[in-house]
Structure 1
Amino acid sequence: MSSAIVRGMCTLSTLPMTSIVLSPRGADKVATLKALFPDMVTIAADNQAVLDACDIVFVGVLPKHCEEVLRGLRFQARHTVVSLVSTAPLALLQEVCAPVPTEQVVRAIPLPPVAKHNGATVMTPPHPTIAGLFGALGTVVPVATEALMKKMMPVTALMGQLYAQHLATQQWLVAQGVDAESAAKWTGAVFHTVTYDSAIAGPSTFEELVHEQTPGGLNEQVIREMTEAGAYTALSDSLDNILARIEARPAPVRSTTPYSSAIDVDPE
């Protein structure tokens, strides 16, 4: 994720920073970024050297190393700290990054397309400078509290199931005799096209998009059949289960019925 952010920032037409200083951890990745952006990227001697050279510090270590790494560093009140560690709570980050003011400690969950300026990022607390940076890399949604951010986080887990829909669609086309390359190209293009109107959504955007499908038409049929199969209930249940994991509590207990697709054949 850190590499994606660096790639995104270094390819902006108007740069929001004068330079980017990288930790030497992950030597291969930082060497690649240095080779790609030699005028923007500097590799520091160690993590402390990154802090000494920068005002805004991004933390992208593995969760199990987060506290240990941060406790070993000397922060200053001038720093703004942006944690990309999904499981590190604000209270811990504020403690180990002291004397950084609490309002200058931010949690952010960006998605990889920030590298191409088409990412999505949820962050807390709202911080104008950091929101502006992630806004330049795509869509940013600042929320007021960490509790609200946790409610937003499960949506990022839908990425894999969306790709699974792509794969199932491609495989269905191949089963109909379409070659795999054409099936992949068509599937990707259609999914990308039909989500165009959702890129900048308002409170009623999705309801309007669903309701504009022609009654009795092909799109309405798929919505109806997927609803009858419980697909959208299953989606909501999965989001509930992911939120329970994030909030470290038991998931709701439900009884589920597997979906079976069958074609009724008139025996006559």
Structure 2
Amino acid sequence: MTNERRVLVHPDKQSLGASVAARFITKIIDVIEEQDYASVVLSGGSVSTLVLAAINRSEARDSVDWSKVSFWWSDERWVEADSADRNDKQNGIDLLDHIGVPAENVHRFGAVGDFASVDEAAAAYIAELKDFAQGDDESPRFDITLLGVGPDGHVASLFPDKPQVSALEPTVLTIADSPKPPPERLTLSLPAINNSQRVWMILAGAEKASSLGLALAGAGADQVPVAGVKGRKRTVFFVDQDAAAEVPEQLIASSY
């Protein structure tokens, strides 16, 4: 299948979350039926909470066989495992703690206290990605990657004008000076993110309109990292009306 890029616009933030949640459940069921497992990449931020909480509230939540779903992370803050700053901590509160997913299916980044340094934690995650890679790949071919996008166009912990954006290998990178606290982080590189079959980016709010418009107008990934994201099969921007303010009309899809 050739890669498709679509923008789906929703009236408001609440309908956006509900729509992505419903599509996620439907697609995960389809993927499991086709290949008997599914792999998902999660991220942090308010839109992640929006979507995961909506999945958890859905009456269709338990129609998914969660024992066949594995979870990975696009990035993580280099803090203690029980810190409220951890993406996986919030993702647990929003969804994972409620669905009975087996512990061995949850692939968390290492935390302060687990490893002597952030570099050791990165090396361990690289090894884990390779253990679950298909064929000669360096990382799994994730089935769905859910990403938020910052007002500056950053995705995961890949920030504008930082050298990590230009990494060419599907690997795990460390960040020492994140523009957003905490400063130390781990993140998948763009090639690792792009080894996803489907990348779903979720944007809400007028402050996201400029970066989305730039990305769709052909800006480079160095300037707007989200512009460098491209799933193997499909790349979808799920946005609310405010975030869609600068999207050219011809790029807005009527359906998924």
TM beyond 0.5 = no
Normalised by the length of structure 2, the TM-score is 0.33
* Structure with the higher strand share, 1 or 2: 2
Greater length-normalized contact order (CA 8 Å, ≥ 6 residues apart): 2
Larger Rg: 1
Greater percentage in helix: 1
